[in-house]
Amino acid sequence: MKINGIKDVFFDLDHTLWDFDKNSALTFNKIFKMHDVAVDLNDFLSFYEPINLDYWKLYREEKIDKASLRYNRLNDTFNKISFNADSTLINKLSEDYITYLSSFNHLFDDVHEVLNYLKSKYQLHIITNGFQEVQESKLRNSNIHHFFNSVTDSEQVGVKKPNPKIFNFALKIAEANPETSVMIGDNMEADVLGALDFGMEAIYFNLRETNEAHSIKQINNLNELKLFL
């Protein structure tokens, strides 16, 4: 079951190492209190989370820009829960969300243990579609930045996973080769299929334990990486 010949391990960040949903919920709780937004947080999140994923897919496919993503995901959610929020409030919440998001830094279980285990055997790297201004803060504030030899984000490259250009850029700065590299991430399209199409190995972090792609290497928790690496 081990993957032989691997020298470089590339991780996605959000939803793979950094517990995005938990940290995002804490951020919304904070900024809603700051601005006296009287909504039920769980009700808000039940609509926001799928809406956010849909907008990220559009953003990944270059169909919307960053400003549209940030504004519309909030506007659509407030409409769904029938909360009247004007554009001034939505823009302020959008700004504050980015400001405070990296102040919460819950990681998934076993992140430090697994990274310590891998660090002695491989060169570790990050490839993320997240916004450049917050990804570095997430890595530093959660105290995992020192594990990684390189960090590639989509804004510095100008394209997003699964575009092969971002994998090419990341491997170039990591001085890595596709045939001796593996990508680990939670998004089947962006992380796994993108890496496989580029000629890398890939491991799907099937966080929600969905029934898909049985032929693809996958894990349900990070400790299971020890089965492959």
CATH at residue 95:
1.10.150.240
The CATH code of the domain that includes 182 is 3.40.50.1000
Based on the domain organization, do 117 and 206 belong to the same domain? yes
As a whole number of angstroms, the distance between CA 82 and CA 25 comes to 19
Yes or no: say if 200 and 178 are a contact pair by the CB < 8 Å rule: yes
- Position 213 confidence tier, pLDDT thresholds 50, 70, 90: low
Q: What percent of the chain has pLDDT over 90?
A: 93
Based on the fold, state whether residues 28 and 13 are members of the same structural domain: no
| Residue at token pair 């491991």 | 203
Spatial contact of 142 and 104, defined as CB atoms under 8 Å apart: no
Q: Based on the fold, state whether residues 90 and 195 are members of the same structural domain.
A: no
Domain count, the chain: 2
Among 88-97, 103-112, 168-177, 211-220, where is mean pLDDT lowest? 211-220
Task: Identify whether 3 is part of a domain.
Answer: no
Look at residues 79, 101, 123 and tell me which one is the last residue of a structural domain. Answer: 101
Q: Which of 40, 68, 101 is the last residue before a domain boundary?
A: 101
Give per-residue pLDDT as tens, 103-162.
999 999 999 999 999 999 999 999 999 888 889 999 999 999 999 999 999 999 999 999
**Beta bridge partners of residue 78, listed in sequence order:** none
Do both 97 and 113 map to the same domain? no
Structural domain containing residue 86: 20-101
pTM assigned to the model = 0.93
Of the residues 101, 125, 151, the one at which a domain ends: 101
Using one digit for the tens of pLDDT, what is the confidence trace for 38-66? Answer: 999 999 999 999 999 999 999 999 999 99
Does residue 118 sit in the same domain as residue 220? yes
Check whether residue 97 and residue 183 sit in a common domain: no
Q: What is the mean pLDDT of residues 91-112?
A: 96
